[in-house]
A and B are shown apart, each in its own frame.
Chain A
């Protein structure tokens, strides 16, 4: 889902950069040392997962792990995304400099939304939380990407094989796959480290 340089208009690039600064500030506030090992490990996971990169038109598709980051890291998910994106930009030249803010928002906002959703909705089991989170995070990210593309240039949405339609078709199977994988990953992780998911369950872990 990395948006390359030149795809978005300058005003959208500036707006998303400003938004990303706000999101990062929100995520940084109150971070303590005990959380950094968890954030580092999940940054690494996000970094590796994003290496599976298939270019499509002006963008590309790859696993997002937005649902997984949102459920495990919660409010700190944007930090993991930020570090992952910086490493990808430096080591792989993935994504653009002017669109760094947009890429940051595309992957952080779904994670934060998932975190807020399941802070209040505790009834599903962890497996189903994972499935819903994985699928929904991709859906939200795709919707955000479509909004940004349309705001930048309406031509992205014109024609039978428009970029936006290609993105929608490409990401739907990924959303299903990521939902299932997130569900299984969460279920397995909860059996090993139940304290990680205290805030997500009624009782302290499954």
Chain B
């Protein structure tokens, strides 16, 4: 168990960090974002909504091999519908802005039915509860 001093230190540090980061300095630079607007359609834009017209998007597969490189259109959109195996997209506008995004994997956990995943979570928690319930009963 944590000593009183360590506990106080953790709580105080958390409070200080919370207060410090709630008042950020205003930065002049803005960041670039890759937004997945549709299946295999992205928009590369800056965080104020302006399309990144000069951005070039490079795509990579799951092993890190480069698949293709293409410029976005005037609205910042890129359609890569005819490309399969795209795992990661990296956009660079040549002006010091870079953004990276990972194509959502639909064959992972989402392949398991929702009911089964919910049951898995509830079963895990029930198991933990049962173990500690038996332990406390034995102690009594």
A binding-site residues for B, Cβ under 8 Å: 6, 9, 11-12, 14-16, 18-19, 21-23, 25-26, 29, 33-34, 36-41, 43-44, 47-48, 51, 83, 87-88, 90-93, 151
The docked-state distance in angstroms from the alpha carbon of A90 to that of B109 is: 9
Contacts of B135 in A (CB 8 A): 33
27 intermolecular pairs with C-beta atoms under 8 Å apart: A14-B21, A15-B17, A15-B19, A15-B21, A16-B18, A18-B21, A21-B14, A22-B11, A22-B14, A26-B11, A33-B139, A34-B136, A36-B132, A40-B129, A40-B132, A41-B125, A41-B126, A43-B125, A44-B122, A44-B125, A44-B129, A47-B118, A51-B114, A87-B124, A91-B109, A91-B118, A91-B121
Q: Which 4 A-B pairs have CB atoms at the shortest separation, nearest pair first? A: A22-B14, A40-B129, A18-B17, A15-B21
The answer to whether B121 and A29 touch across the interface, beta carbons within 8 angstroms, is: no
Is the CB of B15 closer than 8 A to any CB of chain A? yes
Please, how many residues of chain B have a CB less than 8 angstroms from a CB on the other chain?
34
From B10, B24, B133, contact of A11 by CB (8 A): B24
A33 in contact with B132 given A9-B24, A47-B121, A92-B117 (CB within 8 Å): yes
Is the CB of B80 closer than 8 A to any CB of chain A? no
The answer to whether A36 and B11 touch across the interface, beta carbons within 8 angstroms, is: no
Q: How many A-B residue pairs have CB under 8 A?
A: 97
Contacts of B7 in A (CB 8 A): 25, 29
The answer to whether B136 and A151 touch across the interface, beta carbons within 8 angstroms, is: no
Is the CB of B29 closer than 8 A to any CB of chain A? no
Dominant secondary structure at the B interface: helix
From B21, B33, B121, B136, contact of A6 by CB (8 A): B33
A41 in contact with B129 given A25-B14, A91-B120 (CB within 8 Å): yes
The answer to whether B114 and A12 touch across the interface, beta carbons within 8 angstroms, is: no
A22 in contact with B109 given A41-B125, A43-B125 (CB within 8 Å): no
Minimum C-beta distance from B57 to chain A (A)? 18
The docked-state distance in angstroms from the alpha carbon of A38 to that of B22 is: 35
Minimum C-beta distance from B51 to chain A (A)? 16
A48 in contact with B11 given A12-B21, A18-B21, A37-B133 (CB within 8 Å): no
Q: Which residue of B lies closest to A101 (CB)?
A: B18
The docked-state distance in angstroms from the alpha carbon of A12 to that of B21 is: 6
A91 in contact with B136 given A22-B11, A83-B125 (CB within 8 Å): no
